[in-house]
Chain A
Amino acid sequence: MIAAKDKITPAQLTILVIQAQIGVSILFLPSSVESIAGNDAWISVILAGITSLLLIVIIWGLSRRFPALTLFEYLPMLLGKVLGKIVHVVYASMFILECSFLLVEFGDVMRDWVFSNTPGWVILSLMLLTSLYMIRENIRLIARFFVLTFGLIFVLILIATYAYRDADLMYILPINQVSLPGVFKAMMQSMDSLYGFEILFFCYPYVQGKSKGILKATIFGNIFSTLVYTFMVFTCLIVFSPEELKVIPQPVLYMVKTLSFTIFERADLYFLTIWTLVVITSVMAYLFMSAKTVSALFGKKQHAGTAPYVALVILCISLYPHDQDMINKMKYIVGILTGVSLIALPLILLCISYLRKIKGKEQAEA
């Protein structure tokens, strides 16, 4: 039974999902998608949004059958003890690697754009310590912090909108220049940025209200993040020519760098400052999920004790890659792990749950 004071509202869930989804890739997505899908990159992002919608429905369908439990409490019920533990380890490594990868990319941007001489471990440990401080608390406090910083996403959008001054709509024409497989491949690429909705696994029992309301809240969050990503990709596509996007890894920053307002210059620094907060919410979400998963693996009820160790592991992993080659390799590994644990596994679990008619006990309405 979860106490009423630990519960969150569906609106808070929406923002939790948005903040977990929108993170580093707001800078990276435009050029990485463009390199595959060309002018049609924005279509791929929308398609990825629709795909993640389906995944959300799967996760929701699974959680609905165990309304009082989180994923790791019903894993052994579905898969048995040994297989359950193996899958559990897969999830734990996925969350830890995903969180590390987030920090690797963050550290990269910080090194290239602002702090060229500051050692990476200083920046990353500051990020992790701040996140650690937050995520030792329960989900309700985290949700409140996310709501508090939610408005900053709009500031990012506002700064980016200013770049429409130099926009030329003709850059996105001709539409459908790239073949369908290209668009599909780019869609898989942009899926990486939309992960974060899996926080539903952990929140489901804590959300007030009926399961339909929970689904609605999550879907709404997903639509919002998809729109933000699409907007960013679209803006970059019409501001930069295709050739330019190939050589600029963080087009959004490049775009705002030239904006010069009457009183201040280098809008990219302001953008980065706000972006750091947007990233830290993602780091918090992933660190929270990693800590929860690991503590469940060791059979602990509270995650506060395990969190520092998990953070240390994440720090070590994120300091390891130091060239583009290794980052690409890490990205590849993370891609496979997330694909397995967020696309394949939930579907399999849902099938098992339906076929073997395993269900959790109905939760008494509080």
Chain B
Amino acid sequence: MSRIWFWAVFAVGVLLLCGCWDQQLMKNERNVSIGGIDQGSNGMIRATVSIRDISVTESGTKDTSEVHSVLARSTQHAREKIDEEISGSYSAAKLRVLLISEEFVKNQDMMPYLDVYYRDPKSPLSARIAVTKGKAEDMIAHKKIGSKTIGLYIDDLLNSLEKSTTIPRVNIQTLHPLDRGFDFSLPYLIDHNGKPTVSGIALFKGVQMTATLDQDDSKLYLLLSNLQSKKTLLTLRVDNPQKSNGYDYVSIEIKSLKRKLKVTVSDDQQIKVKLQLKLRVSVVEDPSNHLYSMSVLHNLEKILAEELTDDSKEIVQKMQRAGHDGFGIARRLMSFHPKLWKQINWSEEYPKIPFDTSVSLQIVNTGITE
């Protein structure tokens, strides 16, 4: 009998203990959907957040966002200061996007300001991260684009561009900066007529932003890095002197891709990189050619391959000038040539490495007309 009592008291105790200490109710939390970091004065940062509120009324749900901006010493300090400003308790757990201004990432190391994201178990490590031209604060100040709040809008924008291989898939976790042997690149947002738009990607050298690529180049850059996403469309120029302008462009969709990246070290310690990209594509738009003739088709293949090769070479040169090792050449040297890696000064060596870049292309499909 006493045993039954014991277990009964135990069971009631356990039930009553639920949420005694670690309980976080959604209704008391103010969830940040987008955050931004700008350079402040005196080595401080200006942190801006937009808090998303959903109010349910008889006419349906309504999204509103509330923007707060503070000058703080660090990210955690900013959180505390914002927490003082707002009603309810601050929570970054539902953060979707973190914006960092170009000025900030060009002038200083952003990693110290991300530390709190890696340390806190509730932090949103899968939040996307992007660089803004101009101030992040101004971007967040838009509050709403159409019917979407700014956080949701930018998140969806980045998501759809990730799917079309225009920007790399990055989040706070994949940014973890320790000695990976490759450099990351981030989406580059601009304000275009009052709407946030992705103009391409920002290339980083270590933790410092050094260059940008436009959308066309960033697509090719991602293909060269073997980071193809669900769908990739390229629209290329094919000069056609006989006809009017409308006939100048060809659009292709990448069906499959094979990338070969070979890093060789010769006996006299010279590093060489051979980069080969083999594409199988389908033509989705080509007003000037009728591709039923094999010779026309092969000719088009040749022209496109040459153009892509030229573009790729330019991209690689730009990367080398910017000191951005997006292909992970350093990782390969660490893994396969550890002795050499210890001897060289990588940031000096990298821009001098000769790249042998080539793109070959095969048309496998032309749609329902030829």
> What is A's interface to B at a CB cutoff of 8 Å?
112-119, 122, 126, 129, 166, 168, 170-171, 173-174, 177, 241-244, 247, 257-258, 260, 265, 268
Contacts and interface: CB of A to CB of B under 8 A. Distances in A.
A117 B22 contact: yes
A209 B181 CA distance: 55
A117 B171 contact: no
A170 B180 CA distance: 10
B178 A166 contact: no
A114 to B, nearest CB: 7
B334 to A, nearest CB: 8
Contacts of A173: 335-336
Contacts of A119: 21
Q: Is the interface of B mostly helix, strand, loop or mixed?
A: loop
A244 B176 contact: yes
26 contacts: A114-B22, A115-B21, A116-B22, A117-B22, A119-B21, A122-B21, A126-B14, A129-B10, A168-B331, A170-B334, A170-B335, A173-B335, A173-B336, A174-B335, A174-B338, A241-B180, A242-B179, A244-B176, A247-B178, A257-B125, A257-B173, A258-B125, A258-B126, A258-B171, A260-B126, A265-B126
A116 B121 CA distance: 10
Nearest to A117: B21
A114 B121 contact: yes
The 10 closest A-B pairs by CB, nearest first: A173-B335, A243-B178, A243-B179, A118-B21, A117-B21, A258-B173, A170-B335, A115-B22, A241-B180, A244-B178
Contacts of A177: 338
Contacts of B338: 174, 177
Contacts of B179: 241-244
Interface residues of B, number: 24
Contacts of B181: 170, 241
Nearest to B173: A258
B28 interface: no
A234 to B, nearest CB: 16
B174 A170 contact: no
A177 B338 CA distance: 9
B20 interface: yes
Contacts of B17: 122
A114 B19 CA distance: 12
Interface in B86-102: none
B332 interface: yes
Contacts of B173: 257-258
A140 B364 CA distance: 64
A153 to B, nearest CB: 23
Nearest to B19: A118
A200 B187 CA distance: 58
